[in-house]
Chains A and B, each alone.
Chain A
């Protein structure tokens, strides 16, 4: 399976090679790791290279919420073929990076936007976050209006690529928009 952090775009290919009731061998991005595990309340202890790490993982729908030591992760599966994205445009939709309130919609349907142009201002936890275009695009649809409360991952805008080749569009492959 392929996982990525819900707020990031790094993808990890994971394959369980072998598992018995106290040890497992697992491949992460092709690298094989041997680990011992033993269950504890609410999770288990993993021993990797002699280092003991407490982990707890809960899958809810397709999301896996994990605590590893004092770190927290939220993984989502990566659909196969996701890499085939619209050419010249990093993501065809602008989604909410966090739950919050739409403070401003700065573009309208049909607008041509430039890379870096502010699109939407979100407010969460009393802070403003401006979502900007990663690359030049045309606003195909505005899915929210000012004042709307949106959930994490909600589609705010749909974009389509600009027809002509725009120079300098080797933007990194990332969902990581924001201020």
Chain B
């Protein structure tokens, strides 16, 4: 099968841009889809063609299977990449794409259904002899009470169809069990269209280590190293690195073998991830992600490969060529539109001032652009800053330097928090666990120096030229925003000569 000629990207934000870039580099034409609110977003601007997806509300546009398939038909796209989130792990979408005669850049629908469902994946892992955390399928309240009575609290509730930590809740005591189950089911239904839950024993201080798996249609299944994604808030990763610091070789090899075995038994194709909890030297299979992972650039930086290109080649039926041997160390931070000072509460706004880092071995995957809207309707990820170094210390210092270049006003975000995390002694010493933030950054606040500088800046900032803050042309989606600084002319802004 030849490579696709035209690829539709059924996603938005940084991942849509990242996929478009690879497709273009491969000579494949690209089609963006977008919700009503996203018409001026960079992924729409960057693609060769763009089609609006109508939906009752903007949030569900990227979940509209019929709308996306119609967009593919209308533009003559012959392949669809789902990115991550949205429809990426919905077997009915993968199936519908293939039934239309299009290439789905991901695993076959039945494999996705088997491995992507936490409950089914666990059964597969048990069958494959891969260790799992004690847990319970399809939990209703009575079964959950019974499980808690046998295994004790705390217990963890997860969405069976979920990923990325959504719909996950830790329940500490019996009296909050029912409320938590209800809320988790609601969140799961809202995020994934599937309210089924899964319960397991909560391991208090694990590391999260995952294996990048890649498999072709010819029986070749490899791993591309591991990623340590232990640093999380709300069970969602915010710092990821490869290799996992201090992981003994025998454990690393055993985890890779377990991942290959599990994905092999499942008949997996394309890129996927096997997530494990590491508790001392014991590891437990957590879940499989049957899609490209948010943090995949960590692996790309270390292996010098392009996972999206590999996905497309594999989907087109080409045999896998083992990539280069890994080199050095890669670290990624996820810069999110969240208020790190207040429990990482989601924030929204519009980009005003922006400076993105660059340089050798620095990669910034982001949709941020001047005047870009940060919508409360979608995931809070603004962008991923990924660096490579010959060793962990070099990578760490490069990341600190890159974060120092990053500037963004107009929306609260986590860059300053991440900079302190990466610069901390605890991170330098790789004291990694999913409790990292609770243990080392429980009540983080911005440094007094930066706060002071910001207050001084605010005190002498002039009123902007228009009440919307940005030139009116911006609101019409013009590409070149003019900041009030430029509009009013440099220093005069301060109101005195």
Contacts and interface: CB of A to CB of B under 8 A. Distances in A.
Interface residues of B, number: 69
Contacts of B497: 21
Given A16-B460, A42-B483, A69 B450 contact: yes
B376 A125 contact: yes
Interface in B282-340: 337, 339
Contacts of B454: 55, 57, 66-68, 71, 73, 75
Interface in B444-480: 446-447, 449-464, 467-469
B346 A124 contact: yes
Contacts of A158: none
Contacts of B352: 56, 58, 60, 65
Contact of B412 (A1, A54, A56, A72): A72
A145 to B, nearest CB: 16
A1 B459 contact: yes
Contacts of A21: 491, 496-497
A46 B415 CA distance: 20
A171 interface: no
Nearest to A127: B346
B232 to A, nearest CB: 14
Given A69-B450, A98-B376, A56 B457 contact: yes
B457 A43 contact: yes
Contacts of B342: 7-8, 97, 176, 178
Given A8-B342, A128-B183, A60 B468 contact: yes
A176 B263 CA distance: 45
A46 B449 contact: no
Contacts of B353: 42-43, 56, 58, 65, 67
B187 interface: yes
Is chain A's binding surface mostly helix, strand, loop or mixed? strand
A54 B357 CA distance: 14
A21 B454 CA distance: 19
B66 to A, nearest CB: 22
Contacts of B261: none
B277 to A, nearest CB: 23
Interface in B56-114: none
B457 A72 contact: no
Interface in A27-79: 28, 33, 35, 39, 41-44, 46, 48, 51, 53-61, 64-75
A46 B405 CA distance: 15
Given A7-B341, A100-B346, A14 B467 contact: no
Contact of A7 (B345, B376, B458, B459): B345
A76 to B, nearest CB: 10
Given A69-B416, A71-B450, A98-B376, A61 B469 contact: yes
A105 to B, nearest CB: 15
B135 to A, nearest CB: 23
Interface residues on A, range: 35 or more
B458 A73 contact: yes
Contact of A33 (B337, B412, B419, B456): B456
Given A39-B490, A51-B449, A178 B345 contact: yes
Given A59-B463, A69-B404, A12 B343 contact: no
A28 B449 CA distance: 12
B348 to A, nearest CB: 5
A43 B415 contact: no
B392 interface: no
A19 B22 CA distance: 51
Given A19-B496, A53-B453, A74-B412, A3 B380 contact: no
Interface of A: 1, 3, 5, 7-8, 12, 14, 16, 19, 21, 24, 26, 28, 33, 35, 39, 41-44, 46, 48, 51, 53-61, 64-75, 97-100, 103, 123-129, 152, 176, 178-179
20 contacts: A14-B456, A16-B459, A42-B483, A54-B355, A56-B352, A56-B457, A57-B457, A58-B464, A60-B464, A64-B461, A65-B469, A66-B461, A70-B407, A70-B415, A71-B415, A72-B408, A73-B458, A74-B412, A126-B378, A178-B345
Closest 9 CB pairs of A and B: A60-B469, A57-B461, A71-B416, A56-B353, A57-B457, A67-B409, A68-B454, A64-B458, A55-B457
